[in-house]
Amino acid sequence: MAWHGAGTYRTVDGRGGAGRGQQRFAPLNSWPDNVSLDKARRLLWPVKQKYGQKISWADLYMLAGNVALENAGFRTFGFGAGREDVWEPDLDVDWGDEKEWLAHRHPESLAKQAIGATEMGSDLCQPGRSERQRRAAVRRGGHSRHLRQYGDGR
């Protein structure tokens, strides 16, 4: 869940990201890579009920990621709480066509490379990546059901 939350961040305009726990709201919860996260949220629901407003959904998602890494044998460097909880989705969560709203800011970069994923939520299926980069992402444990072992699309 931490991976998916972070995967919604857009460096171009700073929108999205794991800081507000928005992945539980539409349309983010129905993006292809996020559609099965409802099961994980159901597992976290008893924890949220127990601690209520003492822990935000955003913190809970990130804490679950930390715990998963620790259980897998990785050493973490602590946990930083304090992410803001939101109780409804942003009204402007559908950001529209990227080429249209970015054309006035970076027209030369739009012509040179892809801005992001081929569809919202496909965080590793970026058309601008080379075959070598795709393979490296998969070897490092890149998480996407859209990539096979050698980075081929499904």
Catalytic residue, candidates 4, 104, 106, 143: 4
106 catalytic? Reply is: no
Tokens 């559609």 -> residue:
35
Please give the Cα distance from 151 to 59 (Å, whole number): 32
Give SS3 for 4. Answer: helix
Give SS3 for 1. Answer: coil
CA dihedral 123, 124, 126, 130 (to 10 degrees): 160
Active-site residue list:
4
